[in-house]
Structure 1
């Protein structure tokens, strides 16, 4: 794939927009692929990032509603957006696809639709919010990407490493995805259930928090990625107490959310492996899930 790769960032929201901005700034050929209104705004205004880590500035990023044929695809939509963009990815016959979707269930449909294309699931730890369609506030003092060993030669992984984020490559895809999924699902479901920031949500009902941790770890272990309840508790305690999750914000706004990709997925995994998930079921029922 080499130096001539075109990188198509599909879903130029907070994370995707930041990736596109960083890649453009580093001199790579980037296309932001989004809905017509988003494309029009990026064509008009460029992408502006405000970041203590990378500085402030505007990058003029090419924007299209379709993926250029043969591009290296960096998939950064919300999990529920996969069905909408998958046909366009398939028709573009991409050189490779690296997905940053949350959860663990999206890789099967991705691979099934792209049997002859190198596909990898990765994760990113970052706090970034869209102040407007084209303005991104990068709030965390880091952008940490985790990619599986199988993606070590992907052009997108090499380009993102060059562009500024901290990139660690290693382990299996399942290990990479579950490492983020365990923390994100536990935190997002509890903050949404209690309608409180992280600190208050985790301490509101210690027995419920403990039960959620236990069920998430049991699902991870049964799915082939052994995990420790103590490690997950430590990770949850390291989260800033005032942090709110995008799931709770989306649910509060009655907007499309990743509730099914996070909570629903855990219920399905538990059922598949015979793992009881009463605490997770209680939370999903309260949040109105149809999972």
Structure 2
């Protein structure tokens, strides 16, 4: 008998995508890691190794490819700036469904425009994972939490991730799910990148700037249809471990491609569209990125 489960393609087998591909393969799912030539060659040679207190240590020989199998159920786990590169192959594959785990809020319109008629859902993931090498991933958080809107209930990828050991919660609208993470991510990423310090120091160095950033993030969320207050954002941000650093902060410091535009740039554009002033965010984006995105 043929296996009734769909092939799951994890596009972007970096720290997060690689961890998910490893979990899915360990659970017996038909999964393929889809990446660039060098990454695919490394995975084919070495498999994906995960070091995790939560899930244990081990190597999984995850199939890897530079192309997305036709009709696959797809998990998009690239960085936001890499989305444009994968859209043509994603559209050509005619996927059965697409679950996006990208940061930010602007990418969903881009995905849906490129994939007419394909069920597409934007979810969020909370996890700390770093790549020690192309195929070795250190899973540092005791959790891997995935928030999925109600529209994703019934997705094969969502079921498979839950069965594989991720903590999956389904509920709310897509906008609510994406903005809940984006408010936290944007506040932390912008302030840590500006001060080049961990979250605790970044929040306390200039209380007025911190308050202004949180207020502007909340105002943009409210203008986008997901009401929030600066106080609510502050409670969530201050619950984060003081020593945490952000990937935007690390990428900027290393001179790597980064998500500044998808985070700070997006907030500035949302503010402009909705008549919400964002001077504090503009100050930070200009300081760390050199120019204001438009």
TM-score class normalised by the smaller sequence: over 0.9
Deviation at 1:247, TM superposition (A): 0.3
Deviations 1:91-148 (A, max 9, x none): 0000000000000000001000111100000000000000000000000000000000
> 1:230 offset after TM fit, Å?
1.6
- Secondary structure of the residue aligned to 1:255 is coil
- Tell me which residue corresponds to 1:18: 19
Partner of 2:83: 82
- Is the contact made by 1:72 and 1:96 (CA closer than 8 Å) also made in structure 2? yes
Q: 1:229: how far off?
A: 1.7
Query: Structure 1 residues 27 and 88, CA, compared in 2 at 3 Å: closer, same or farther?
Result: same
CA distance in 2, matches of 1:189, 1:289: 15
Does residue 51 of structure 2 align to residue 31 of structure 1?
A: no
* 1:260/1:289 contact within 8 Å kept: no
Normalising by structure 2, we get a TM-score of: 0.98
CA contact (8 A) 2:70 2:94 kept: yes
Q: How does 1:1-291 map to 2 (within 5 A)?
A: 3-287=4-288, 288-291=290-293
2 CA distance for matches of 1:55 and 1:47? 13
Q: Write out the 4+ residue segments of structure 1 that deviate beyond 2 Å after TM superposition.
A: none
How far the C-alpha of 1:67 sits from its partner, in A, is 0.2
Q: Counterpart of 1:55 in 2: which secondary structure?
A: coil
Root-mean-square deviation (CA, aligned residues, Å) is 0.8
Post-superposition CA distance 1:51-103 (Å, at most 9, x none): 00000000000000000000000000000000000000000000000000000
SS in structure 2 opposite 1:133?
coil
Q: Is the 8 A contact 1:264 1:289 kept in 2?
A: no
Gaps of 5+ in 1: none
* Partners of 1:143 and 1:227 in 2: CA distance: 25
The 3 A distance-change label for structure 1 pair 53 and 197 is same
Q: Could you list the per-position Cα deviations for residues 196-239 of structure 1 after superposition, in whole angstroms to 9, with x for gaps in the alignment? A: 11100000000000000000000000000001222211111111
SS of the equivalent of 1:136 reads: strand
Q: Secondary structure at the match of 2:132?
A: strand
Contact 2:282 2:292 in 1 (8 A): no
The alignment of Structure 1 onto Structure 2 pairs a total of residues equal to 290
Counterpart CA distance in 1 for 2:5 and 2:161 is 15
Please report how far the alpha carbon of residue 4 of structure 1 lies from its aligned counterpart in structure 2 after TM superposition. Answer: 2.1
User: Normalized against structure 1, the TM-score is what?
Assistant: 0.99
